Amino acid sequence: MNNLANSQAAKLIWENWTKNSRLEILPEYCRPMTRQDGYRCQSKLPEASGRKVLGWKIAATSNMGQAHINVNGPLAGRILSGQIFQDGGEVSLVGNWMRVAEPEIAFCLNSTLVSRDLEYSEDEVMQAVGSLHPSIELPNSRFKIFTTAGEAQLLADNACAHQFILGTRSPDHWKNLDLSKHSVSAKVISENGDELEREGSGANVLGDPRKALTWLVNELSSQGISLNAGEFITTGTCMAPLEITPGDFVTTDFGMLGKVSFRFTK
């Protein structure tokens, strides 16, 4: 695919994003067919949207998640300005077709990780991390049937990135925790008082959130993409996604790492 086709795909994705509409499939003239083409289309989204990249997400970090969207491994996506909300607020579900909330562990970088040929070790990556934050991701897709869109188109679709709630910085003693064994709980409370409770852990995120972060750094580095100081990376859901509807209040408890809560409106 050439730059024009990549830009055309990004423009169509963003148009559907802003109109709260969905695609059947990208037109043949700008449809990515490979993983690399998908990333190239995605790289045009900041230009198409006029927004900045503030962070990154990882989709499908569990076997269950990969099976759900029919991919063979995780996918990386950009989180753009205007899509991030503060803990304790409200967000509308208009145009959100997936309607799930995903409790996730996010890391914020305090130094840049430049793209290079040699893979980064986990130790190198963690040395670049300045803070950890509990968070909630609200994924979405611009495809009507995202489960059959395929890896390349889902990457063009920003790996189903949509909205994100970044929690308060966790105390620094997280550095001494085994995040693979760290428990996370969540509760969805509906307007009529019904409750859904779910448990999870860092083990659901490629075995360990640190491993997921390292995967993302090397995945982007292989595509010639650097991660910049100040950007954050949310590493994937710690549990099966929480089904949500307008009026629901979601609260997540990451233990000593902190809590994040949010209410969803129409």
Residue ranges of domains in the chain: 3-181+201-241
Any long-range contacts for 121-129 (C-beta under 8 Å, 24+ apart)? 121/214, 122/210, 122/211, 122/214, 125/210, 125/213, 125/214, 125/217, 126/210, 126/213, 128/227, 128/229, 129/213
pLDDT for the residue numbered 1: 82
| Residue segments in the chain with a per-residue pLDDT below the cut of 70 | none
Closest among 168, 174, 141, 127 to 70, alpha carbons compared: 141
- Which phi and psi (to 5°) does residue 142 adopt? -90, 10
pLDDT for the residue numbered 117: 97
pLDDT for the residue numbered 62: 87
- When the pLDDT of each residue in the chain is averaged and rounded to a whole number, the result is 97
pLDDT for the residue numbered 64: 86
Other C-beta atoms closer than 10 Å to the C-beta of 247 total: 14
CATH architecture of 3-181+201-241: Alpha-Beta Complex (3.90)
pLDDT for the residue numbered 266: 87
